[in-house]
């Protein structure tokens, strides 16, 4: 058993999400798995960490080569807890997902799925986020396995450059087969918000966040372009937010 | 009044934080101000958005040139609400802070203060996050005003490049005066986590997140270096997470 890789699986759609269940199944073919997920849906929680309350993980399953924990934390908390408390050694790989919905382009900044991946990467652990471009709870994951295995095996065998992790987005199932995998850049797109205004029974105004996604980035080589053409997009991602080309130009003296 | 800039002020330490109060006072010298902050402390909430519950802002103050709202949302929600619902026009500037504690180096990824700034920047609004390297609620903000005014005036007058915002960190007060402002890069540092384990009255294990900050980045030109030398650090920040140098190198075919 010691030669099997140790894989930490997490997500941001909560412990009951079909996407998590599918990813656990796939990863158990490749290694020993510890799954750590949240009781609550953590979609949109980004890189939030829990510092106002303590974390209470509960062991739900403890089998040969498989353990499953549920927590009251965020995806980032789950990676931290896994690495520092719940796993008996540093995992060889952290995978997150399969997210119900795209994390391509600007979605990465709101994504708990990708926050878990970035958190592992900060700690020097190879990490991959998988997302399916289908928001529905009953999304069809039947076409994803071969691609996830191909990408994961490559990362397990070859590792990733220091400080780099992967944001993998998979087109939703269609009659046309997936064309392949494209390594690309994050598209410059954004959400055009439309808050829906309502009144509560006491006359107070409240708002539901809504909106539509707008891709204004017409360049080739973006993740949105690859997905639109029925390719899987792989964006190599890093956590240095510096706009380096500006460092030498700006002056406040 | 129409020629005064419109400035949206927010933070992640909650509406009662002394750092927010100080920033509002300073910004009212420079323009008309709408402050939107959270009822709860949102420290460590990163770029979280509220999608499971609605947002209910309440107008607390409505004066000539000054409005103040409190919400049940996150810093990112507050910027979205401000831009799309609470302000009568797009603000000329969004400022966030003054955070009680450093947001230099990797702290940016966990920071609600900087999430608000990034959110404004995604929408094309010039934005600055201000943080004081002192975590105490009673931190001394008496030395910050001249520096914040200098940086803010420059941004109001000259704008910022498209897609670029500023992460400004200010050393805590000391006997030595601040030496000046350095434009620099995000240091490659990280938190070394130490979860403190406890037992609840029913015997269940729980953990408090703790840890110490470790700066392993010995390069010059980092924000941590500037702060250690008693300079104010200004990191120009962008929201493209792509590791561009990897895009041409990776291949999954």
Which residues, listed in sequence order, are joined to residue B191 by a DSSP beta bridge?
Answer: B213
Q: Please, what is the angle between helix B18-28 and helix B145-158, to 10°?
A: 50
Contact A206, A198 (CB under 8 A): yes
> Which residue carries 């008309």 as its tokens?
B32
Residue B221 has what pLDDT? 92
Between CA A187 and CA A193, with CA A188 as vertex, the angle to 5 degrees is 115
Residue B198 has what pLDDT? 95
- Chain-centroid distance of CA B9 in Å reads 10
Closest CA to B127 of B170, B168, B182, B88: B168
Residue of A nearest to B47 (CA): A46
Residue B172 has what pLDDT? 97
d(CA A170, CA A181): 9
Contacts of B253 in chain A (CB under 8 A): 180-181
Residue of B nearest to A244 (CA): B185
d(CA A167, CA A186): 9
pLDDT in tens, A62-114: 999 999 999 999 999 999 999 999 999 999 999 999 999 999 999 999 999 99
pLDDT in tens, A111-127: 999 999 999 999 999 99
What letters, b where the CB count within 10 A reaches 16 and e where it falls short, cover A188-227? bbbbebebeeeeeeeeeebbebeeeeebebeeeebbbbbb
B246 vs A253: CB contact, 8 Å cut-off? no
Nearest to B238 among A57, A81, A241 (CB): A241
Q: Which of A36, A42, A47, A125 to mutate against chain B (most B CBs within 10 Å)? A: A47
A48 vs B45: CB contact, 8 Å cut-off? yes
- What mean pLDDT is reported for chain A? 94
pLDDT in tens, A182-218: 999 999 988 888 899 999 999 999 999 988 888 889 8
Residue of B nearest to A168 (CA): B252
Residue B238 has what pLDDT? 96
B108 vs A241: CB contact, 8 Å cut-off? yes
SS3 state of residue B27: helix
Contacts of A243 in chain B (CB under 8 A): 161, 163-164, 236-238
B185 vs A240: CB contact, 8 Å cut-off? yes
d(CA A57, CA A37): 9
Cis peptide before A21 (omega within 30 of 0): no
Backbone angles phi, psi at B86, to 5 degrees: -90, -25
Contact A122, B190 (CB under 8 A): yes
Task: Using CB atoms within 10 Å of the CB of residue A230, give its burial: 0 to 12 exposed, 13 to 18 middle, 19+ buried.
Answer: middle
> Which residue carries 């103040």 as its tokens?
B68
B139: distance to nearest CA of chain A, Å?
A: 20
- pLDDT tens for the 253 residues of chain B, in order: 458 999 999 999 999 999 999 999 999 999 999 999 999 988 888 889 998 899 999 999 999 999 999 999 999 999 999 999 999 999 999 999 999 999 999 999 999 999 999 999 999 999 999 999 999 989 999 999 999 999 999 999 999 999 999 999 999 999 999 999 999 999 998 888 889 999 999 999 999 998 888 888 988 899 999 999 999 999 999 999 999 999 999 999 7
Residue A43 has what pLDDT? 85
H or E element at residue B172: none
C-alpha to C-alpha distances, A232 to A141, A144, A228, A238, B50, nearest whole angstrom: 14, 10, 10, 19, 29
A244 vs B185: CB contact, 8 Å cut-off? yes
Kindly list the domain boundaries of chain A, sorted by start residue.
Answer: 6-186+219-241
Contact B17, B45 (CB under 8 A): no
Contacts of B242 by beta carbon, 8 Å cutoff, 6+ apart: A185, A186, A235, A236, A237, A238
The yes/no answer on whether domain A6-186+219-241 falls in CATH 3.40.1210.10 is yes
Between CA B169 and CA B176, with CA B175 as vertex, the angle to 5 degrees is 60
Nearest to B84 among A195, A250, A253 (CB): A195
Contact A49, A80 (CB under 8 A): yes
Q: Which of A54, A129, A178, A231 to mutate against chain B (most B CBs within 10 Å)? A: A54
B161 vs A243: CB contact, 8 Å cut-off? yes
B193 vs A80: CB contact, 8 Å cut-off? yes
Contacts of B2 by beta carbon, 8 Å cutoff, 6+ apart: none
Nearest to A51 among B83, B183, B209 (CB): B209
Residue B25 has what pLDDT? 98
The Cβ of residue B201 has, within 10 Å, a number of other Cβ atoms equal to: 5
Nearest to B118 among A43, A109, A209 (CB): A109
**What's B131's DSSP letter?**
E
**What's B82's DSSP letter?**
I
B247 vs A106: CB contact, 8 Å cut-off? no
The Cβ of residue B218 has, within 10 Å, a number of other Cβ atoms equal to: 10
Nearest to B207 among A54, A238, A244 (CB): A54
- Chain-centroid distance of CA A35 in Å reads 14
Residue B1 has what pLDDT? 40
Residue of B nearest to A163 (CA): B243
Residue A1 has what pLDDT? 41
H or E element at residue A152: helix A145-158
B105: distance to nearest CA of chain A, Å?
A: 8
Hey, what's the torsion of the CAs at A178, A184, A187, A191, to 10 degrees? 50
Query: Which of 3.40.1210.10, 3.40.630.40, 3.40.640.10, 3.90.1410.10 would CATH assign to domain B6-186+218-239?
Result: 3.40.1210.10
d(CA A200, CA A145): 45
Q: What is the mean pLDDT of residues A16-26?
A: 97
Cis peptide before B98 (omega within 30 of 0): yes
Q: What is the mean pLDDT of residues A142-167?
A: 97
Nearest to A110 among B47, B186, B206 (CB): B47
Contacts of B208 in chain A (CB under 8 A): 54-55
Contacts of A247 in chain B (CB under 8 A): 183-185, 221, 236
Contacts of A252 in chain B (CB under 8 A): 150-151, 154, 181, 183, 234
């Amino acid at each position: 058993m010691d030669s099997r890789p140790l894989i930490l699986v997490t997500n941001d759609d909560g412990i009951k999400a079909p996407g998590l269940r599918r990813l656990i199944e796939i990863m158990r073919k490749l290694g020993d798995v510890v799954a750590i997920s949240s009781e609550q849906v953590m979609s949109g929680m980004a890189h939030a960490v829990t510092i106002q309350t303590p974390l209470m993980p509960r062991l739900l399953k403890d089998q040969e080569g498989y353990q499953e924990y549920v927590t009251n934390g965020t995806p980032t908390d789950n990676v931290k807890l896994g690495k520092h408390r719940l796993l008996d050694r540093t995992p060889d790989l952290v995978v997150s997902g399969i997210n119900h919905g795209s994390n391509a382009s600007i979605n990465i900044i709101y994504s708990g799925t990708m926050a878990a991946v970035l958190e592992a990467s900060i700690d020097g652990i190879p990490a991959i986020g998988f997302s399916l471009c289908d928001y529905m709870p009953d999304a069809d994951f039947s076409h994803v396995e071969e691609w996830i295995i191909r990408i994961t095996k490559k990362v397990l065998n070859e590792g990733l450059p220091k400080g780099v992790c992967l944001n993998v987005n998979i087109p939703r199932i269609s009659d046309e087969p997936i064309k392949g995998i494209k390594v690309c850049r994050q598209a410059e797109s954004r959400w055009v918000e439309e808050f829906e205004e309502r009144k509560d029974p006491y006359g107070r105004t409240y708002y539901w966040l809504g909106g539509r996604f707008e891709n204004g980035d017409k360049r080739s080589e973006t993740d949105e372009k690859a997905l639109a053409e029925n390719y899987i997009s792989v964006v190599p991602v890093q956590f240095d937010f510096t706009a380096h080309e500006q460092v030498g130009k700006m002056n406040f003296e």
